[in-house]
Amino acid sequence: MNPAGPPDPRLLPQPDLLHPSFGTRLRRYFLTGLVIAGPLAITLWVTWWFINLIDGMVKALIPANYLPEAYLPYSIPGFGLVIGVLGIMLIGFLTANLVGRTLLDAGEAILNRMPVVRSLYKGVKQVFETVFSQSGTSFRTVGMVQFPQPGMWSIVFIAQEAAPEIAGRLPHGDEQVGVFLPCTPNPTTGFFFYLPRREIVELTISVEDGAKLVMSAGLIQPGDLDPKLAPGEAASK
């Protein structure tokens, strides 16, 4: 006779945890495979799409007699991408010497005489020089601002200080800084505006971590390691 009574069933090991059913194991395997195959499939699809896009653009500029398809019964994926990369490198090599720089200056002088093309070329060139500059400071810092209303904080990428002609039109006494507020899950779209620097809370995370935070809607926090999920862990997520 047991004076303490029967043990509490909640304290006993659960059969499902010790010996999961066949359906539970299949669910775990499926979720684990989805976590691994999903990002891989999307990455391959985007890469293949990019290669085909560049191939179509570059091959349209090459005579048909010089394409591999003219001599082979099949096309070579990435041929246009390789030619495009080599062409860009060749342009960079030519503009690094005096002759190439002289030709580039002459071409820019011609573009500067075209009313519409001049503005478009200068704007696009400035964007490329700013984005790909190694010494620039644009979008090197992540911060937070109160948006869309006080008490609600949003992630922003800090740009540069307002130019004198812009700062002169804004309230005096505060340093105005341009920020880009990306949208979730596509950080390439969003809002750009100026606000006082004192209203920006700068973060110590990288721009890459900030973009991951925005794209994942907060699911991937800064400093998180790449998940290595076991079958049991994938099912519990």
Whether 236 shows a pLDDT value over 50: the answer reads no
Judge whether 174 lies within some domain. yes
**pLDDT-derived band of residue 7, with 50, 70 and 90 as boundaries?**
low
Q: What is the pLDDT of residue 3?
A: 54
And the tokens for 115? 């009313």
Judge whether 35 lies within some domain. no
State which residues form the domain around 151.
141-215
Whether 200 shows a pLDDT value over 70: the answer reads yes
Whether 88 shows a pLDDT value over 60: the answer reads yes
Amino acid, res. 55: D
Q: What is the pLDDT of residue 108?
A: 81
Whether 82 shows a pLDDT value over 70: the answer reads yes
Whether 13 shows a pLDDT value over 80: the answer reads no
Condensed to tens digits (0 to 9), the pLDDT of residues 214-233 reads: 888 888 888 764 544 444 44
Tell me what the mean pLDDT of segment 54-64 comes to: 86
Q: What is the pLDDT of residue 136?
A: 53
Provide the Cα torsion 91, 97, 100, 102; round to 10°: 150
Q: What is the pLDDT of residue 155?
A: 92
Judge whether 82 lies within some domain. no
Judge whether 109 lies within some domain. no
Condensed to tens digits (0 to 9), the pLDDT of residues 113-163 reads: 888 777 887 777 776 766 666 555 556 789 999 988 889 999 999 888 888
Judge whether 153 lies within some domain. yes
Q: Which of 211, 181, 208 lies closest to 193 in space, CA to CA?
A: 181
Condensed to tens digits (0 to 9), the pLDDT of residues 89-109 reads: 888 888 777 777 788 788 888
Judge whether 206 lies within some domain. yes
Looking at every residue in the chain, the average pLDDT score rounds to: 78
Could you give phi then psi for residue 93, rounded to 5 degrees?
Answer: -65, -40
Tell me what the mean pLDDT of segment 22-27 comes to: 83
Q: Which of 212, 145, 131, 205 lies closest to 178 in space, CA to CA?
A: 145
Tell me what the mean pLDDT of segment 23-40 comes to: 85
Tell me which of 128 and 60 has the higher pLDDT.
Answer: 60
Rounded Cα distance between 52 and 75, Å, is: 11
Q: What is the pLDDT of residue 145?
A: 93
Total tally of structural domains belonging to the chain: 1
Could you give phi then psi for residue 204, rounded to 5 degrees?
Answer: -95, 10
Judge whether 183 lies within some domain. yes
And the tokens for 204? 């110590």
